[in-house]
């Protein structure tokens, strides 16, 4: 179903259509106005970490093109914008002096959104940890959780009066497992002990952050954004089904369990609990404070089989092949039903608040030809996932909004600038933005919904 009008009719009038970005991926201006390096600056400047040694020094130059980009967002007809605040702009060394000029930028951003009738969804942590904190061990050090608490308080004290929603963390799965166990993201660690420490410290920081935000602004809806994985067993054998259960506990349960149930999964603790850092009295209560909303970032399912290797470390799985080989340009399987299966499973396992799809989108690298970008596969991808979202609403799940990832092409982490997720194309030589076919289509869809008069309806 790709007719925007027909699709729009499947959503309630107060459903939010938005676009999403993250600070490090678009801002550039990495040394401007007192910003200091993050772990991603260090990581991307180190040869062999990021494709082509691309870094975030210029990115989409959003920092210097703020007003034009806000106009672009408004022109897309959306009612909400999800962005992240860069900790290294606000407290450049993680702890210590607050940098007013860094906060000024987000003041202008938020005011600019308000002036255009667009809701502001801020994320406090989208992976740009101030590099100075690496000296203490970064996310493996408990002190980093307290540094985050202070940063959260500082950011919300200044901006909270004009935000419509705030998330503490974006995809802790990435900043924990992908960054400390698989070594793909900054800081590039590959060890389970470091990863387990990062896991608990990140979960704790989330909880401390929630409390800090609420102390500053009790009425501001607080959430957490998770890239939950829909995990399918590679076969129906008992061994592969058990592997999928272990993978669920490791990839989802290690985050959902603490945040929404106050406990790490049992199987996980049995296998790895003795290598976890000390869980201090009160930690799990701090982590499991009730949230106003949660965000799902969904792109592709995970398929796993049992790892045949003797003594393989938990969760002891290996990748299983996709059933149908439809992939985006980054190689990720396209399988929209997984979004529905995932929301149903998570709501069965946990008591969850309202849900926003805070990211969904696809990597296709078509370029500008004759002034246009024909990215039909991205349009189809978004339409198919929105169709599943509408089914979920019809089934009664509290799906409240959808943010397309991404507003524009940007720094795709370890892939650098070669992988494009935007509904707007960016020419990195000229910084010219060109709305793609998917972007024009998304505007037709989003424009059918009223702007600026959505009321937040806490569950």
Residues between 8 and 27 with contacts to ligand GCO, criterion CB under 6 A: 22, 25
**Binding-site member from 27, 41, 171, 216 for ligand GCO (CB under 6 A):** 171
Q: Tell me the closest approach of the beta carbon of residue 102 to ligand GCO, in angstroms.
A: 20
The nearer residue to ligand GCO, 216 or 412, going by C-beta atoms, is 412
The conformation of residue 30, written as its DSSP 8-state character, comes to: T
Give how far Cα 78 sits from Cα of 113, 404, 414, Å.
11, 10, 29
Residue 452 in tokens: 């600026």
Question: Is 95 buried (19+), middle (13-18) or exposed (0-12) by CB count in 10 A?
Answer: middle
Q: How many CA atoms lie within 13 A of 186 on its CB side?
A: 26
Instruction: Please report whether residue 123 would count as binding ligand GCO according to CB under 6 A.
Output: no
Instruction: Please report whether residue 170 would count as binding ligand GCO according to CB under 6 A.
Output: yes
Active site residues: 171, 359
Q: Tell me the closest approach of the beta carbon of residue 170 to ligand GCO, in angstroms.
A: 5
Residues between 53 and 92 with contacts to ligand GCO, criterion CB under 6 A: none
Query: Do 179 and 185 touch, CB atoms closer than 8 A?
Result: yes
Size of the site for ligand GCO (CB under 6 A): 11
The nearer residue to ligand GCO, 314 or 332, going by C-beta atoms, is 332
Residues between 208 and 267 with contacts to ligand GCO, criterion CB under 6 A: 227
Instruction: Please report whether residue 297 would count as binding ligand GCO according to CB under 6 A.
Output: yes
Distance CA 9, CA 224 (A): 29
Q: Tell me the closest approach of the beta carbon of residue 27 to ligand GCO, in angstroms.
A: 13
Instruction: Please report whether residue 412 would count as binding ligand GCO according to CB under 6 A.
Output: yes
Residues between 358 and 387 with contacts to ligand GCO, criterion CB under 6 A: 359
Residue 299 in tokens: 């792109």
Determine what percent of the chain falls in helix, strand and coil, rounding each to the nearest 5: 45, 15, 40
Q: Which stretch binds ligand GCO (CB under 6 A): 11-19, 170-178, 258-266, 268-276?
A: 170-178
Residue nearest to ligand GCO (CB): 171
Instruction: Please report whether residue 405 would count as binding ligand GCO according to CB under 6 A.
Output: yes
Instruction: Please report whether residue 333 would count as binding ligand GCO according to CB under 6 A.
Output: no
User: Phi first, then psi: what are they for 452, rounded to 5°?
Assistant: 75, -5
Query: Do 34 and 84 touch, CB atoms closer than 8 A?
Result: no
Residue 236 in tokens: 């129906």
The nearer residue to ligand GCO, 262 or 416, going by C-beta atoms, is 416
The conformation of residue 95, written as its DSSP 8-state character, comes to: S
The nearer residue to ligand GCO, 144 or 170, going by C-beta atoms, is 170
Query: Do 367 and 409 touch, CB atoms closer than 8 A?
Result: no
The nearer residue to ligand GCO, 113 or 407, going by C-beta atoms, is 407
Say how far residue 131 (Cα) sits from the centre of its chain: 20
Instruction: Report the residue count for the chain.
Output: 459
Give me the residues that bind ligand GCO (CB under 6 A), please.
22, 25, 170-171, 174, 227, 297, 359, 405, 412, 421
């Amino acid at each position: 179903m790709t007719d925007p009008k027909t699709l729009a009719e499947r959503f309630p009038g107060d459903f939010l259509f938005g676009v999403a970005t993250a600070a490090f991926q678009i801002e550039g201006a990495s040394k401007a106005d007192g910003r200091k390096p993050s772990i991603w600056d260090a990581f991307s400047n180190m040869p062999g970490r990021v494709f082509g040694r691309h870094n975030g020094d210029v990115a989409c130059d959003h920092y210097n093109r703020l007003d034009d980009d806000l106009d672009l967002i408004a022109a897309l007809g959306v009612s909400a914008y999800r962005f992240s605040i860069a900790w290294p702009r606000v407290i450049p060394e993680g702890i210590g002096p607050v940098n007013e000029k860094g906060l000024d930028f987000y003041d202008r951003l938020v005011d600019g959104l308000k002036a255009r009738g667009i809701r502001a969804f801020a994320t406090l942590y989208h992976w740009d940890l101030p590099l100075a904190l690496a000296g203490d061990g970064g996310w493996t050090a408990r002190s980093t959780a307290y540094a985050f608490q202070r940063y959260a308080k500082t950011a919300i004290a200044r901006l909270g009066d004009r935000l419509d929603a705030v998330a503490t963390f974006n995809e802790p799965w990435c900043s924990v497992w992908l960054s400390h166990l698989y070594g793909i993201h900054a800081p590039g660690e590959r060890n389970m002990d470091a990863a387990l420490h990062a896991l608990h410290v990140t979960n704790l920081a989330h909880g401390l952050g929630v409390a800090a935000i609420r102390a500053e602004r009790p009425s501001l809806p607080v959430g957490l954004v998770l890239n939950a994985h829909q995990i399918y067993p590679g076969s129906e054998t008992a061994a592969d089904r058990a592997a999928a259960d272990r993978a669920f506990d490791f990839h989802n349960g290690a985050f959902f369990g603490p945040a929404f149930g106050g406990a790490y999964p049992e199987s996980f603790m049995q296998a790895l609990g003795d290598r976890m850092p000390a869980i201090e009295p009160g930690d799990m209560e701090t982590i499991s404070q009730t949230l106003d909303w949660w965000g799902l970032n969904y792109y592709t399912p995970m398929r796993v089989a049992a790892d045949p290797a003797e003594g393989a470390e938990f969760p002891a799985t290996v990748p299983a092949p996709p059933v149908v080989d439809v992939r985006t340009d980054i190689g990720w399987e396209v399988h929209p039903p997984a979004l529905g299966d995932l929301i149903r499973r998570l709501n069965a396992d946990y008591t969850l608040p309202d849900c926003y799809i805070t990211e969904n989108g696809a990597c296709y690298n078509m370029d500008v030809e004759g002034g246009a970008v024909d990215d039909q596969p991205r349009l189809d991808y978004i339409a198919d996932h929105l169709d599943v979202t509408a089914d979920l609403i019809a089934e009664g799940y509290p799906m409240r909004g959808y943010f397309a990832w991404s507003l524009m092409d940007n720094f795709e982490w370890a892939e650098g600038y070669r992988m494009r997720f935007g509904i707007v194309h960016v020419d990195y030589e000229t910084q010219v933005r060109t709305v793609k076919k998917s972007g024009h289509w998304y505007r037709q869809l989003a424009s059918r919904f009223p702007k600026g008069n959505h009321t937040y309806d806490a569950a």
